[in-house]
Amino acid sequence: MNGSTFGNIFKITTWGESHGKAIGVVIDGCPAGLSLEEEDIQKFLNRRKPGQSRFTTKRQEADQVQILSGVFEGKTTGTPISLMVSNTDQRSRDYSEIANYYRPGHADLNYDRKYGFRDYRGGGRSSGRETIGRVAAGAVASKILEELGISLCAYTCAIGPVTVDKACFDKEEIFRNPLYMPDAQAAQKAQECLEQAMKETNSLGGMVECIITGVPAGLGEPAFDKLDAALAKAVLSIGAVKGFEIGSGMAAARSNGLENNDAYAVDAQGNLIKKTNHSGGITGGISDGTPIVFRAAFKPTPSIAALQETVNRQGEPIEIQIKGRHDPIIVPRAVVVVESMAALVILDALLASMTTRMDRIKSFFLDKESETRL
């Protein structure tokens, strides 16, 4: 409900719209004593910033973050961390045209029907700029996870018809090409497809994959708050995502039990291992300690310059061509958004898992130095 708050323990609340004064997030429940400075957050924001390549919008937004509260002498205090990014590139152009009709593939009509009217400037709250708060909070969550030995790696695994070849996976390559693909050859082909789409005033969809390693077994809850269900919600809550799959995903539907079950075995060192990971690291909603692997499908950017049919607020059919500086593909800038949402889910589940077992609760409270009771 309400929709702008996410998480239970590490809880974030985002605010702001495309053309308001600023955009931000409040993080409540961040543990005290974490070293944190603006640069930790800025480096995440820079990954989603516009203007990184010819495949992203030419809008210039500095997207410079400010820490307004919750950090004292370089450490988090345990109280709310308020992060804000000012909106600087708000062109005072004429929005009267866009105000008057419903862009196909956008939520214009939906907002009008829901709220009675809408802030039509740049999509208002439905703008991709809403994800700035998510990424800022995701940077903090990722920093905590890192200190606990958990790391996340998201990347583009498909753009339009081009899919990354698993055999060519190169983690270093992700940050070398503008599409965040872990396969140089696929990245090259995808760029060609994008050039072609741009020429045709069209846009492309794509797929993001995320791998999370170092996750302890036991995260997630049995019934409604399964870890994969939480990831699905987190990912589908990103605008433009139309599908989510974990492990073997949609392909599991076409598989059979013998193939899809992950056999347990013992490795040379005597450790229990899984011979495959069709589960994607989660069974019954609970992590098993193997890498978590999921994918998100993004639709093509709906804002295209090609001629489109639509209807205006007066209910008359019209033809439009959307002007402005739009990404021909959402995916590359969305990679860090997916990674951030995943970090928020994993951290929240990790903190929740601390209260699961009597033996661990007892050792937590009874083994501590006795200073805590007067």
Report the site for a second copy in 277-306 (rule: CB under 8 A): 278-280, 283-290, 297-304, 306
Please identify, using beta-carbon distances, which residue of 6 and 44 lies nearer to a second copy: 6
| The pair of three-digit structure tokens given for residue 237, joined into one six-digit string | 């809550």
HSE value, Cβ hemisphere, 13 Å, CA-based, for 358? 0
Please identify, using beta-carbon distances, which residue of 274 and 325 lies nearer to a second copy: 274
Residue 275, interface with a second copy (CB under 8 A)?
yes
| The pair of three-digit structure tokens given for residue 138, joined into one six-digit string | 């995701």
Q: Is 113 annotated as a binding residue?
A: no
Q: Is 325 annotated as a binding residue?
A: yes
- In the complex, minimum distance from the CB of residue 179 to a second copy, in angstroms, rounded to a whole number: 14
Point out which span in 44-52, 171-179, 182-190, 224-232 binds a second copy (CB under 8 A): 224-232
SS3 175: helix
Residue 174, interface with a second copy (CB under 8 A)?
no
Q: Is 303 annotated as a binding residue?
A: yes
Site string for a second copy, 148-167 (x = CB under 8 A): xx--------x-xx------
**The one among 50, 122, 138, 206 contacting a second copy by CB under 8 A:** 206
Please identify, using beta-carbon distances, which residue of 172 and 348 lies nearer to a second copy: 348
Query: Residues 36, 39, 43, 49: is their CA dihedral positive or negative?
Result: positive
Residues numbered 91 to 110 that lie near a second copy (CB under 8 A) are: 102, 104-107, 109-110
CB atoms within 10 A of CB 245: 20
Q: Is 50 annotated as a binding residue?
A: no
The one-letter amino acid code at 207 reads M
SS3 249: helix
**The one among 23, 141, 190, 334 contacting a second copy by CB under 8 A:** 23
Point out which span in 45-53, 113-121, 167-175, 176-184 binds a second copy (CB under 8 A): 113-121
Residue 40, interface with a second copy (CB under 8 A)?
no
Residues facing residue 14 across a β-bridge:
25
SS3 163: strand
Q: Strands 317-321, 264-266: parallel, antiparallel or unpaired by DSSP?
A: unpaired
Backbone angles phi and psi of 112, in degrees to 5: -60, -40
Q: Is 203 annotated as a binding residue?
A: no
Q: Is 142 annotated as a binding residue?
A: no
- Residue among 290, 39, 295 at smallest CA distance from 163: 295
Residue 32, interface with a second copy (CB under 8 A)?
yes
Residues facing residue 212 across a β-bridge:
152, 292
Point out which span in 29-37, 38-46, 169-177, 184-192 binds a second copy (CB under 8 A): 29-37
Ramachandran bin of 149, using left for φ above 0, alpha for ψ from -120 to 50, beta for the remaining angles: left
How far is 98 from 122, CA to CA, in rounded Å?
Answer: 9
How far is 370 from 364, CA to CA, in rounded Å?
Answer: 12
**The one among 40, 64, 75, 325 contacting a second copy by CB under 8 A:** 75
Residue 270, interface with a second copy (CB under 8 A)?
yes
| The pair of three-digit structure tokens given for residue 63, joined into one six-digit string | 């997207």
Contact 237, 344 (CB under 8 A): no
Point out which span in 38-46, 172-180, 184-192, 206-214 binds a second copy (CB under 8 A): 206-214
- In the complex, minimum distance from the CB of residue 185 to a second copy, in angstroms, rounded to a whole number: 19
Point out which span in 37-45, 47-55, 72-80, 180-188 binds a second copy (CB under 8 A): 72-80
42 CB burial (10 A radius; 0-12, 13-18, 19+)? middle
- In the complex, minimum distance from the CB of residue 176 to a second copy, in angstroms, rounded to a whole number: 23
Q: Is 129 annotated as a binding residue?
A: no
Point out which span in 43-51, 52-60, 180-188, 262-270 binds a second copy (CB under 8 A): 262-270
372 CB burial (10 A radius; 0-12, 13-18, 19+)? exposed
Please identify, using beta-carbon distances, which residue of 139 and 232 lies nearer to a second copy: 232
Binding residues for FMN: 125-127, 284, 299-303, 325
